[in-house]
Amino acid sequence: MPLVETNRALAGPAVLKSSLAQHGIDSVALDLNADVFLKFKSSAHQSYLRDFFYKQIIHDEIIDEVNLMLHYCANQIVKLNPRIIGLSLFADDCQVFTTWLCALLKQMVPDAVIVIGGPGIVGFDYAKKIKKAKLINDYISGDGEISFVNYIQGNMEYTGINSSSWQPVEDLMKLPYPDYSDYNLYWYDQPSIPLIDSRGCVRSCEFCDVIEIWKKFQYKTADFIFAEMMYQIGRHNVHHFDFRSSITNGNLREFRKLIVKIAEYNQTKFRSEQISWEGSFIVRPQNNHPEEMWAVLEQNNAQLFFGVESVIPRVRHLLGKNFENSDLDYHLQMTQKYSILVNLLMISGYPSETYEDYETIKQWFRDRKHFANNSVKLVQIVPLGIIPNTKLYRDSKKYNIINADSGRGWVNQELNISPAQRTTYHNELKKVCSIECNFTVK
Amino acid sequence: MNTDLSFFLEFEQGIESVDVVIHDRDKNILADIKQSHNHSVKVNCKIKLSNKISITINNQNNIKSKFVKLSRLWLGNIELNQQTLLQLCEYTPSQSDTKFTTIWNHNGVVVIDLFDKDFTSFLLHYHNHIQL
């Protein structure tokens, strides 16, 4: 479901399609976000559209555009004459559009059953509320690969169906490979295939809900992932993979084995047929990631997303990341040496960051501007929104944080830095990174 | 495409009878309800989207000091918000009536003009949020 601001394919529908097919159930998997995001990107009113998607504010200027998006999606679904419509919400940001689409679908095909699922149905008690409003028939919490099959087979007592309690899939490697045959993978900016290499995380960062959703870290082995890559390449002739886990190097043994297999494969291929991939990567102490690993990674055409969050060690350690700044510097040096692209994921204005910290962070970037577009491809800086169902949310009183329910409107009363002041800092930091240091910033 | 239209009317004591007539663009009567001795009435009927629906409310006593209030209205499962209801009413409440949102102290007409509009464009046009 829109809107997820990405020009990459979303995996959910393809994952469910293959699980259904395994049980003899026909389905069509649509990535409606891809089409809507394209319309969004070409709109002259993106900020007004964001107001609609994220806050349900309706500006006159976008009424026709929103209406067109809703009817486009509804028609894509209705023309298939579905008996059951499953809508997958990747994030809370999909809730407004889903609500409107369901209202329209209930008018157009009142007899079709609408069921929703995905990580985006949890926030704000959304699933229960939209069911109560009779805009959907049912919802499925948690992993859908098995529960959705049970739902369609009529086993309404199965865990996760119309209930917030659910059981994670026990073994990721017993699931079939996702089926992207309904997607036009060449429709996206860069054709790529999502690959779910693990679930959960080996870290437990207090601001993140991944560890709350999947309490146990599960991974696919190097052999399994590589076989999946070969299968998808054979089917779609696409060689770029998006690892959609929170962490590609959660299991170091399997990770090292996988990158060696990819490097060996690539050595036998022309560049256009080589595998490339991108994924989240945790920074670890230097001895965990020795130089020979970086040399192998160079042969992987990999782009790594470092979840740095804060370059203030005190703040970073407390939020749940135990590496040192010297480890981060080592990683940047290695990626530069071996021409590996990196995205730095930063949070601006973490609750425990002070004004003094803000200045230290700006200086940290100034001191590392030689990495700008020379290994560091992008610095992604986001303000912190406190997510319900996280440790940070639960501990907000302990930290003297008020308005934790408001997403980004929270205030740490000890430091008394207002959301507006954080926004000012956020803009200043982006300016320092982009104008002073020449980083590409998002 | 048919959808359910339903709404609540509330009226003050002293109003003995209220006529509610709902008809479409072609003057077909969809519902004709005479209500007495109750303080509120819920009206349900089926309407065709892409049509112009008029709800005429006649306070038969015609006591101008008494209020009839259109309190809630649903199209299908969507409840229209008060701002939308206000815009749909032919008569704007007087300044002194601000404690109510959509009221008449005389006969009133609500026009839900769906002609040339589909369901979502109607809701969007009136800036009607879908509240869960």
| Chain A partners within 8 Å of B6 (Cβ) | none
Q: How far is A60 from chain B (nearest CA, A)?
A: 8
Residues A128 and A268 grouped into a single domain: no
A219 contacts A172 by C-beta, under 8 angstroms:
yes
Domain span holding position B100: 2-125
B46 touches chain A (CB under 8 A): no
Decide if A2 is inside a domain. no
Residues A137 and A43 grouped into a single domain: yes
Residues A144 and A207 grouped into a single domain: no
Which is nearest to A406 in space by CA: A418, A421, A398? A418
| Chain A partners within 8 Å of B74 (Cβ) | none
Torsion over CA: B97, B102, B105, B106 (sign): positive
Q: Which residue is closest to B48 within chain A, CA to CA?
A: A107
Decide if A171 is inside a domain. no
Scan residues 82-121 of B and list those with Cβ closer than 8 Å to A. 118-121
State yes or no: pLDDT of A210 exceeds 60: yes
Mean pLDDT of A12-31: 97
A with B: how many residue pairs have Cβ under 8 Å apart? 51
Do residue A107 and residue B49 have CB atoms under 8 angstroms apart? yes
Q: Of A219-223, A342-346, B97-101, which gets the smallest average pLDDT?
A: B97-101
Number of domains into which chain A is organized: 2
Tell me the pTM. 0.87
Mean pLDDT of A173-188: 94
Q: How far is A407 from chain B (nearest CA, A)?
A: 19
Q: Is A200 left (phi over 0), alpha (psi -120 to 50) or beta?
A: left
Spatial neighbors of A383 by CB under 8 A, at least 6 apart, are A347, A348, A349, A408, A422, A423, A426
Residues A147 and A64 grouped into a single domain: yes
Do residue A103 and residue B130 have CB atoms under 8 angstroms apart? yes
Residues A45 and A109 grouped into a single domain: yes
Decide if B132 is inside a domain. no
Residues A121 and A251 grouped into a single domain: no
Decide if B130 is inside a domain. no
Residues A263 and A146 grouped into a single domain: no
- Assign A8 to helix, strand or coil: coil
Q: What pLDDT does residue A375 have?
A: 95
Decide if B131 is inside a domain. no
Residue B62's pLDDT band (cuts 50, 70, 90): low
Q: Is A236 left (phi over 0), alpha (psi -120 to 50) or beta?
A: alpha
Mean pLDDT of A86-114: 95
Residue B60's pLDDT band (cuts 50, 70, 90): low
Read off φ and ψ for residue A114, nearest 5 degrees.
-110, 125
Q: What pLDDT does residue B15 have?
A: 67
Q: What pLDDT does residue B90 have?
A: 57
Decide if A257 is inside a domain. yes
Helices (H) and strands (E) in chain A, counts: 16, 13
| Chain A partners within 8 Å of B83 (Cβ) | none
Residue B63's pLDDT band (cuts 50, 70, 90): low
Residue B6's pLDDT band (cuts 50, 70, 90): confident
CATH number reported for the structural domain that contains residue B59 in this entry: 2.60.60.40
Decide if A186 is inside a domain. no
Cα(A189)–Cα(A6) distance, integer angstroms: 10
- Average pLDDT across chain A, whole number: 95
CATH number reported for the structural domain that contains residue A330 in this entry: 3.20.20.70
Joined together, the tokens standing for residue A42 give 């070409």
CATH number reported for the structural domain that contains residue A25 in this entry: 3.40.50
Out of A152, A176, A204, a domain closes at: A152
Decide if B57 is inside a domain. yes
Q: Indicate the residue of A56, A103, A132 with minimum beta-carbon distance to B78.
A: A103
Residues A232 and A139 grouped into a single domain: no
HSE of B125 in the Cβ direction (CA atoms, 13 Å)? 14
Residues A104 and A203 grouped into a single domain: no
Tell me if ipTM is over 0.95. Answer: no
Q: What pLDDT does residue A426 have?
A: 97
Residue B98's pLDDT band (cuts 50, 70, 90): very low
Residues A384 and A265 grouped into a single domain: yes
| Chain B partners within 8 Å of A133 (Cβ) | 77, 130, 132
Percentage of chain A beyond pLDDT 90 is 94
Residues A349 and A284 grouped into a single domain: yes
State yes or no: pLDDT of B52 exceeds 80: no
Residues A132 and A275 grouped into a single domain: no
Decide if A132 is inside a domain. yes
State yes or no: pLDDT of B94 exceeds 60: no
Cα(A66)–Cα(A88) distance, integer angstroms: 19
Higher pLDDT, A317 or B70: A317
Q: What pLDDT does residue B120 have?
A: 85
What pairing do the DSSP bridges indicate for beta strands A193-195 and A240-243?
A: parallel
Q: What pLDDT does residue B99 have?
A: 38
What pairing do the DSSP bridges indicate for beta strands B68-75 and B103-104?
A: antiparallel
Decide if A182 is inside a domain. no
Decide if A216 is inside a domain. yes
B49 touches chain A (CB under 8 A): yes
Decide if A158 is inside a domain. no
Domain span holding position A102: 12-152
pLDDT digits (tens, 9 = 90+) for B101-110: 444 544 556 6
Residue B119's pLDDT band (cuts 50, 70, 90): confident
pLDDT digits (tens, 9 = 90+) for A298-349: 999 999 999 999 999 999 999 999 999 999 999 999 999 999 999 999 999 9
Decide if B75 is inside a domain. yes
Number of domains into which chain B is organized: 1
Mean pLDDT of A107-136: 93
CA dihedral (A130, A131, A134, A138) in degrees, to 10, reads: 130
Decide if B26 is inside a domain. yes
